[in-house]
Amino acid sequence: MAPFVGPFVLVSLFSVAYAQDLSVPVTWGKFSNSRPLSERITISQNAINTILPQLNSATGEFNGIGYWQSGNVWSAMANQDHFTGQTTNQAQVVKNLNTVFNLRANYDQFGSMMMHYGGHRLQFMLIGHIRIRICYRMRLQLGTIQSSLLEFFVAHTYFQLSVVTASQASAGSQPNKNFAIAGSCDGATMAGGVFWRPTIDDQSINSITTGLYITTSAFLAEITGDSKYMNAAILSANWIKAHNINSSNIVLDTVNGHDCSRSLSTWLFTYNSGKYIEGLSVLADVTGDAQWRALMLNIVAAAVKSTAWQGSDGIITEGASTTSNNDSVGFKAIFIRGLYEAFARNPSNTNLRTLLHSYIDVQYNALLDLAANGSSYSSDWHGPPQVFTAWGQLAALDVLGSAIIANN
């Protein structure tokens, strides 16, 4: 977690009013490709097949990457079947996710979320999000969907222990925290923010946990039609909108829930914007409220052109760790997945789809031209190719899968 600096400064009030630029920069690398659909499907599936030998079937995780990163492999595999209309990966995904969920109470790696330190709240929510994505994307049999949704309802309810409600913000206290919470920062309510860790003394409220809560709430609202999930997503979407977007429309990292201080402005990570883009894309469809689509467009336009994680060629530089794994290697995969959701949910917005198709193809061509060693890929998308690493392979999967659809 980033160190906290200075007083809180509200930076996002007018960001949604700016007109977004959805043009494709002429400096970007190769932003199209002529590979036929069948070849794109094969390339993506071969990349999945290349990481599968690293599977530890006793745990449902992959050697060389962490718990939440392993979960994102399963999500990429589910999306592969969704993109292709096939069931190539379904049995493997369902079997191993059931293994994970049977081992982990409430999907928690550490066994008791209220007793352990670390970033496991994020891991919990990512795995829960993957579970509902599997049901939603793979159209499993009714019994499996009902069982999975029941599990996710329980997980969603448990996760609410870390959400600041409107009444808690007004009272200045949260029952699962041992400190006074800031009911508002610079005049904007802190309701809807989600604490990073469930320990009683952790004060960090951040964009990734809040963004994950938005997305899962919006998906549940879409699937069930229950307004309580829609309202939960709206409250948390408003928290990020009010507190954690900078003047360039990039989603920031963390706000202190006690004193309104924030993480360094230079702590900019792809997944914060990516997960918010995904959540807003679903929320816009669920609510029919144009403000969420407009905000999503602004953040997309900024994120795919941000110098924080790419150069003028448009190739993502974040997580280019070739010698050891780290969390940032997996961040860009989450980012690409969020962009795909925006692409899929806006079929009539030609400018947006052209921009996202081009951006995905920039990453796709970089992987294939600069970073590929057969069907394995370096985590440094500028290359050169290297021997297989599980983290490099993980980072590539969402790009290779998204290119199946983004080029149709």
Express each pLDDT in 380-394 by its tens digit.
999 999 999 999 999
pLDDT > 70: percent of the chain: 82
Q: How far apart are CA 139 and CA 167, in angstroms?
A: 38
Question: What CATH fold (topology level) applies to the domain 4-406?
Answer: Glycosyltransferase (1.50.10)
- Alpha helices by DSSP H, 21-116: 37-51, 67-84, 90-103
Q: Is the dihedral of CA 32, 407, 340, 321 positive or negative?
A: negative
Express each pLDDT in 206-220 by its tens digit.
999 999 889 889 988
- Whether the pLDDT of residue 102 is over 70: the answer is yes
- Residue by residue, DSSP assigns 163-208 as BPPHHHHHHT--TT-SSPPPSEETTEE-TT-BBS--STT--EEEHH
Beta-bridge partner residues of 205: 195, 255
Express each pLDDT in 268-293 by its tens digit.
999 999 999 999 999 999 999 999 99
How many C-beta atoms surround the C-beta of residue 187 within 10 A?
A: 8
Q: How many CA atoms lie within 13 A of 392 on its CB side?
A: 25
Q: How far apart are CA 207 and CA 64, in angstroms?
A: 27
Q: How far apart are CA 81 and CA 127, in angstroms?
A: 18
Q: Are 19 and 372 in contact (CB under 8 A)?
A: no
Name the residue ranges covered by the structural domains of the chain: 4-406
Average of per-residue pLDDT across 242-264: 96
Express each pLDDT in 139-178 by its tens digit.
544 445 455 566 566 667 767 888 999 999 999 999 999 9
- How far apart, in Å, do the first and last CA atoms of the chain sit? 39
Task: Give the DSSP H or E segment for 263.
Answer: strand 262-263
Q: Are 25 and 305 in contact (CB under 8 A)?
A: yes
